[in-house]
Every structure is written in structure tokens, then in C-alpha cells.
Amino acid sequence: MKLAKLLTADQIILDMRAVAHWPAITELVDHLVETRRLPQAQREEILSALKAREEQVSTGIGSGVAIPHAFSDDIEDVVAVFGRSREGIDFEAIDNAPVHLIILFIVPRKDYHLHLRTLAAIAKMFTNGEVRRQLVKAETRDEILAILDSRPSRAPAPEA
């Protein structure tokens, strides 16, 4: 799976306004509503599911990256949004470092295994320091999509 397959240019925020954990998640969800990737009627349910997930443990995985995610009974396909903050967001990350890159995704509850594959693919891509550096420096949404599309983001299949 390529992360770029989940995103289009309008699902990328180049310069997030939020500077704190929860406002950043709200900004990303609101962007999905504004771009009609998520119906307004589902906004509160999605925010509630994301809040429940974040209350378990922050999805700030370290190295300036956060991967907030949740399930929904009301969507058919994975919905994702990418946000970047040049200044950094206090995301209560495990390394206490500011977060600069956020990929938020929502998975249909019926596709639990897709959730695991998506999370693994995103985490694998963002462990690459060069990818993170390029994403921070990218000037346009198309550059970000090209960076996300240029790297395989799927873990190798287990050997039989």
C-alpha cells in the first residue's frame, strides 16, 4: 500500500494553524469536512472516536510524527488527511518532541485488518528520517504527494 493512494492534494494542509494536540486533530477533521471527504453529520462521532483513542495514549509516535486514527461504522473506505506544521505542535508525543507531520485516518469498523495494515504502512514510511526531512521541506501539496508516492510504505510480506 502506498500512503499517497489515500490522499489527494486537497487532503493536505501545508501549514497547520493549531499548536496543541486536540486543536490539531480538530483542524484535520474540519478539513475533511470542508473538502467533503467526511460528511458534516459524522464530524462529532469521528471527533469522539479520535478523542477516545487519544485518551488511551497519544498517537504522537516520536521523531516529529503523529498518526491519530479511529474507526467509524458510517464510512465505506479509509479517509485520510495529512497536516504539516513547520513550527511544531505539542502533541504529547512519546518523546515529548513537537510534532511537524500528522497523518490522520479513519477506517471502516468492518475493516479492522485494513486498519492494522494502514497503520503499519504509515509508521514504516515515517521511520525514514530522509522522508520526514523531505516532507518538512516540500513547498507544494504535489511535492508532498510525490514524496509519499516515491517510497514503498508496506512492510515486506512474511516468508512462507
Please give the Cα distance from 39 to 48 (Å, whole number).
15
Please give the Cα distance from 38 to 79 (Å, whole number).
8
Please give the Cα distance from 91 to 32 (Å, whole number).
20
Q: Using the Cα atoms of residue 59, residue 61, residue 67 and residue 72 in order, give the sign of their dihedral.
A: negative
Please give the Cα distance from 61 to 58 (Å, whole number).
8
Cβ burial, residue 106 (10 Å; 0-12/13-18/19+)? buried
Catalytic residue among 69, 100, 113, 115: 69
For the question of residue 31 being annotated catalytic, the response is no
Which of the residues are catalytic? 69
